[in-house]
């Protein structure tokens, strides 16, 4: 199997790593870079729990090979806000949009990207943006409410 030297930026920090061809971005983040905020569940593009931003675009990291992200920028939930929680994270707390919490990082990442691109989304647009992420506690109502509420606090 081929190995590849790649250089990528994760949450503002540069990493030079060697990856095997079959390693996914998800496995690189969790196993090699030890950033376990990005969750691993189905590993087949269905559940969306591994959502990260790839050059700012929400992406299922189990569906991307690590070798493909050479020279690119990745943002995980660890890097989604600064010292303080962002508006989406605060709204998730306020609306109790967390049950078991396993899907929460993915929703936070996708919603933060949505509000950056579209600060005042409609409910339909929120549903579209998070449509690829599954919450098996099925608490979608609170999640949608939290994202809409976060959009109100945005200027």
Binding region for another protein (CB under 8 A): 1-2, 4, 20-22, 24, 43-46, 48, 51, 57-60, 62-65, 67-68, 110, 128-129, 131-132
Nearer Cβ to another protein (85/132): 132
Nearer Cβ to another protein (20/32): 20
Do residues 147 and 126 touch, judged by C-beta distance below 8 A? Answer: yes
Nearer Cβ to another protein (46/93): 46
Nearer Cβ to another protein (22/153): 22
CB of residue 116 to another protein, shortest distance in Å: 15
Do residues 89 and 115 touch, judged by C-beta distance below 8 A? Answer: no
CB of residue 33 to another protein, shortest distance in Å: 19
Q: For residue 19, what is the enclosing H or E element?
A: strand 13-20
CB of residue 94 to another protein, shortest distance in Å: 26
CA nearest to 153, candidates 76, 78, 93, 77: 93
User: Under 8 Å CB-to-CB from 16, ≥6 apart: which residues?
Assistant: 5, 6, 7
CA dihedral angle for residue 123, residue 155, residue 11, residue 146, rounded to 10 degrees: -30
CB of residue 44 to another protein, shortest distance in Å: 5
């Amino acid at each position: 199997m081929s190995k590849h030297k790649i250089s990528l930026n994760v949450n503002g920090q540069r990493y030079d790593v060697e990856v095997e061809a079959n390693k996914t971005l998800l496995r690189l983040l969790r196993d090699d870079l030890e950033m376990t905020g990005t969750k691993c569940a189905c590993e087949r593009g269905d559940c969306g729990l591994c959502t990260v931003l790839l050059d700012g675009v929400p992406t299922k990291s189990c569906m991307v090979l690590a070798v493909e992200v050479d020279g690119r920028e990745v943002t995980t939930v660890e890097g989604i806000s600064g010292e303080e929680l962002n508006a989406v994270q605060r709204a998730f707390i306020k609306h109790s949009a967390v049950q078991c919490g396993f899907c929460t990082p993915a929703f936070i990442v996708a919603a933060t990207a949505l509000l950056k691109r579209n600060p005042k989304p409609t409910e339909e647009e929120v549903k579209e943006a998070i449509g690829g992420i599954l919450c098996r506690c099925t608490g979608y109502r609170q999640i949608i409410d939290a994202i809409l509420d976060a959009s109100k606090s945005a200027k």
